[in-house]
Amino acid sequence: MKKSILILAFLMGATGAQAGEFSLKFSSWGNIPSCTTGNPNKVGNPAFVLKGLPEGTTSVQFRLKDLDVPSYNHGGSKRISMSADGTVPAGSFTYKSPCPPSGVHTYEWTVTARKGGKVLARSTAQRRYPE
């Protein structure tokens, strides 16, 4: 009986936060200059849509990583407030653009949802550049 209750409690806890529901999407890189020299431009972010933002979220923060050169810091946003509809308009912050020195690289945006200083959830979205 105790084992059944523990298993049920575990399953309820595992689905209570429903981290899988928090998602990040962006449909394009936006209106950024073409770059394949390895010397990125400082550009405005693409438009983002967040779904399933955790209850109590007071801010979100974005970071960009080149999965082919993960040590390079492309930057991202400071903590920003979220709109009720889950959108972050293009140009809300600046970062170092994708700019692979040779060929095509895969880039990943990570968004972190916070309540004050506490991390509530993270989500990622990947896209190749150039497309």
Measured CA to CA, the distance from residue 108 to residue 126 in angstroms comes to 4
- Model's pTM, two decimal places? 0.83
pLDDT tens digits for range 31-87: 999 999 999 999 999 999 999 999 999 999 999 999 999 999 999 999 999 888 899
Q: Give residue 104's Cα distance to chain centre.
A: 20
Measured CA to CA, the distance from residue 89 to residue 92 in angstroms comes to 6
CATH code, residues 18-129: 3.90.280.10
Measured CA to CA, the distance from residue 118 to residue 28 in angstroms comes to 30
